[in-house]
Chains A and B, each alone.
Chain A
Amino acid sequence: MEPISIAMIADFFHPDVGGVESHIYMLSANLIHKGHKVIVITHSRPSDRVGIRWLLPGLKVYYLPFVPIASGATLPNFFTFLPYLRTILIREHIHLIHAHASLSSLGHEGILHSHLMGVRTVFTDHSLFGFEDAASILTNKLLAGTLRNVDAVICVSHTGRENTVLRGELFEQTDDDPPRLVVSSNVYVIPHAIVSERFQPGTLQETDTITIVVISRLTYRKGIDLLVATAPRICAAFPNVRFLVGGDGPKLIELLQMREKYLLQDRIILLGPVKHNDVRSVLIRGSIFMNTSLTESFGIAILEAACAGLYVVSTRVGGVPEILPEGMISFAEPDEDDVFRAISEAISIVSAGQHDSMKAHERVKTFYDWAQVAERTECVYDMVMKSEQRDLWERISRTMRLGRYAGPIYTIILLVDCLFFLFLEWWMPREDMDFVTHHWDPQRFASVVQGMQSADHEPKNKQT
């Protein structure tokens, strides 16, 4: 497709670490390689991460002065982002915005405002939510309001798509009689990917000790209760097994208590928090990876472990059953006895030498690839750019159909947003703006970097 200018908008981005953050970075980097222009818009990080920064493959990042309220997300207030967004989108000649994560209010606001500038919108949902508690009900209503007029939605797994379709009410009425509800055709599934070169299997030492690796935040949602319940049973049943647990969190205390109670200090090794760069070095010390999550939309940690040549045992939750073929993963129900059974099965497979880590690595390499993800995302962009943009009246009537109370509320927000935009057009005319004319030249940058590296100097904002 024709190269276009894309703005990624999310509350979650480098220097924070996490699944969404690395997804945005890798996707942007690969889109830049395909010749598109990509910028990232996020909120500032206290002390000095403010203003405009450049990341390595020529990725421009705008850190806007918004204060995060909880776990890195900003407060949803619908309007304050518009002055910044209007200036940035117009200055940078953006054609399309791509918002990420359903708890990132900057992304939601971006989708709400972009149509004013004639910019198209894509949204990627990274997480699963239930429907029962008050927090879910509120955020789902917010999501439904935002996604009413989005041009395309991308989910990271089939389970995630089912969830997002229900939460965001992404249904269309068919014309046939009687009218049925069908899922809108603009909901796509494009999985995450991994950089398989960074998860090369290690060389195996010839011992009969089997090491089970667990790398996870130690929280309730990650199913640490199951780990605490099964680890002593496994240690009792298999004298040649030891555990390697990486991660930190509120459940660490329970893990420590269990270790003390069953006198397993020499067989359950707690590593504390593991940096993302060190994950591989921890993974290759073991041969089985254990994941006890209670909910997971994609399970990137499982993929990394499988790529590093480990046999995976996981609970059958969320999108996990979709990501690996049989023979590389054993599933268990979230039940102590069944997890024990699955681990025993995995131990017998590994000790019989039926799992070849090099072969597993080669297989995973063919499954997931960032270039492929970027290509598939590009297809979505292409479809969006070719489709007709909804006019204001259609937006209003679609928004009104949201519900008896939510509909008028969101319509008022939409209309006030339009008025605010008109005010900004008068107050800060486009003609007076500073347009970005020069952009990063990758070739020239590469030669400069090489020149600097020969002078033994590292670029500052390097992210791997």
Chain B
Amino acid sequence: MSTELPPWEKVLWKRQPYPDNYIPEGALESSLRKNPNFRPYTYWPLVHLSTPLTQHLATIFIFICIFVRLKDHSLDPRVLIFSSLGSFFVGYILWEILRYTQSPSHNIHGSKRNERVHHDRVKTLKSSILIFLALMSLSPVLRTLSAATSSDSIWALSACLFILNILLADYGSSNPVRQGRPERLTSVLSMNAAISSSVVLASRLSNDLAVFALIQFSVQSFTLFPMLRRRLQLQTFSTYQVSTRAIQAILTFALSISSLVLAAPLSSTIAFLFLFVLLAVTFLAPAVLVWAQKYKNEIRGPWDVAIPKVN
């Protein structure tokens, strides 16, 4: 072969004096890009992102412990009703404070905004009274609703529903929930799963007051508390010099400890199980993710489907 071969070109329209299986040195590497948009995760931010999940799990554990205590009559339903009423008011005040600090434009359109806030408050009051009364009148119905079903089925069903609730709940923090934006479907499904689960569990209780207390507690911990939690998560306390992370850490710690404290007298095995799950989700799972990143191998090249840029 002559030494003066023309350089190989990456074209098909002309016959080149090379065999069809010729590949020049380095031709493959030139168009290949590995992990181009890769941004490695670090450990502590992941732990921070996992706290909503831990909080949610701890809430469910607390709920289960409360249910067991109501069932074996070691907790007076009236105590539960009054403590959940108390926590409702504390939560509502916290919500109002957050709303006050969060809105960046509370001096613009002042009067109009005040009017709307006032309207919202009246609506909240109205609907809370309505729910309170409706639950109270419905609790005999709820108690006997699934009474005929055997206990084994009830445990299995409620476990499935709680798992569904955990899987579908909205733990996101990257997508800020703007005011007026409708809730995502998955979080609505998740909430419904939790409420249904508590309704089927309520049929195992012995009196109407206990049923009412349990359902009221479930409404608070599975619909109202996640809303408050999300608001806390998105809150920036720049003016108060308190970081969101600290608030999240304190909340997570408080919920985890209270779930453990509630579970410990019932069964130490269960308490250890709770502790293990909470620690695994908060500390072990992020570590596994950080470790698994070294296996990431994303290959990109000219064959990828281009993303059209449209103004």
Name A residues whose Cβ lies closer than 8 Å to a Cβ of B: 128-132, 157-163, 165-166, 183, 185-191, 221, 223, 225-226, 229, 292, 294-295, 297, 315, 317-319, 321-325, 333-337, 367-368, 372, 376, 379-380
Using a Cβ–Cβ cut-off of 8 Å, how many residues does chain B contribute to the interface with A? 27
Q: Which residues of B approach A to under 8 Å, CB–CB?
A: 10-15, 20-21, 23, 27-28, 31-32, 298-311
B12 touches A226 (CB 8 A): no
5 A-B contact pairs sorted by A residue (CB < 8 Å): A131-B300, A294-B306, A324-B13, A335-B309, A336-B311
Do A130 and B304 contact each other (CB < 8 Å), given the known contacts A165-B28, A185-B21, A337-B311? yes
Closest to B23 in A: A183
Q: Is the CB of B298 within 8 A of A131?
A: yes
Query: Chain B nearest CB: distance from A301 CB in Å?
Result: 15
Q: Smallest CB-CB separation from A128: which chain B residue?
A: B303
Task: Assess whether A162 is in contact with B303, with CB atoms less than 8 Å apart.
Answer: yes
Tell me the nearest residue of chain A to B302, going by C-beta: A159
Q: How far is the CB of B17 from chain A (nearest CB, A)?
A: 14
Residues of B within 8 A of A336 (CB): 308-311
Question: Could you say which residues of chain B place their CB within 8 Å of the CB of A294?
Answer: 305-308
B281 to chain A, nearest CB (A): 25
CB of B301 within 8 A of CB of A162, answer yes
**CA of A158 to CA of B309, assembled, Å:** 26
- Contact A317 B302, CB 8 Å, known A191-B12, A324-B13, A325-B13: yes
Residues of A within 8 A of B32 (CB): 162, 166
A325 cross-chain contacts in B, Cβ below 8 A: 11, 13-14
Which B residue's beta carbon lies closest to that of A131?
A: B299
With A185-B21, A295-B305 in contact, do A162 and B28 touch (Cβ < 8 Å)? yes
A-B contact count (CB 8 A): 105
Q: Which A residue's beta carbon lies closest to that of B310?
A: A229
**For chain A, what secondary structure do more than half of its interface residues adopt (helix, strand, loop), or is it mixed?**
mixed
Contact between B310 and A226, CB atoms less than 8 A apart: yes
Closest residue of A by beta carbon distance from B9: A322
Residues from chain A with Cβ under 8 Å of B311 in the complex: 229, 336-337
Give CA–CA (A158, B18) in the complex, Å: 13
Per the bound structure, the CA–CA distance linking A160 and B301 in Å amounts to 11
Beyond contacts A159-B303, A318-B303: 10 other A-B pairs, Cβ-Cβ < 8 A, are A157-B12, A163-B301, A183-B23, A185-B21, A186-B21, A190-B20, A323-B13, A336-B308, A367-B14, A376-B20
- Please report the C-alpha to C-alpha distance between residue A420 and residue B76 in the assembled complex, in whole angstroms: 71
* A130–B305 touching, CB < 8 Å: yes
In the A-B complex, the 7 residue pairs with the closest CB atoms: A128-B303, A334-B306, A335-B309, A188-B20, A163-B303, A367-B13, A191-B12
- Select from chain B the residue with minimum beta-carbon distance to A221: B305
Complex-state Cα separation, A337 to B27, whole angstroms: 31
Alpha-carbon distance A166/B306, docked complex (angstroms): 19
Pick the contact of B308: A159, A188, A297, A335 (CB < 8 A).
A335
B309 pairs with A295, CB closer than 8 A: no
B20–A160 contact, CB under 8 A?
no
Bound: A229/B309 CA distance, A: 10
Distance between Cα atoms of A229 and B308 in the complex (Å)? 10
Q: A442–B11 Cα gap in the complex (Å)?
A: 37
Residues of A within 8 A of B15 (CB): 372
> Complex: how many Å from CA A372 to CA B15?
10
Nearest B-chain residue to A293, judged by Cβ: B306
Q: Determine how close the nearest CB of chain A comes to the CB of B301; give it in whole angstroms.
A: 6
CB-nearest residue of chain B relative to A368?
A: B13
Q: A160-B303, A334-B307, A334-B309 are in contact. Are A380 and B11 (CB under 8 A)?
A: no
Q: Could you tell me the distance in whole angstroms from the C-beta of B28 to the nearest C-beta in chain A?
A: 6
Contacts of B28 in A (CB 8 A): 162, 165, 183
Q: How far is the CB of B19 from chain A (nearest CB, A)?
A: 8
Residue from the set B11, B27, B305, B311 with the largest chain A CB neighbour count within 10 Å: B305
A144 → chain B closest CB, angstroms: 13
Contact B31 A162 (CB under 8 A): yes
The docked-state distance in angstroms from the alpha carbon of A189 to that of B22 is 9
Contact (Cβ within 8 A) B308 A318:
no
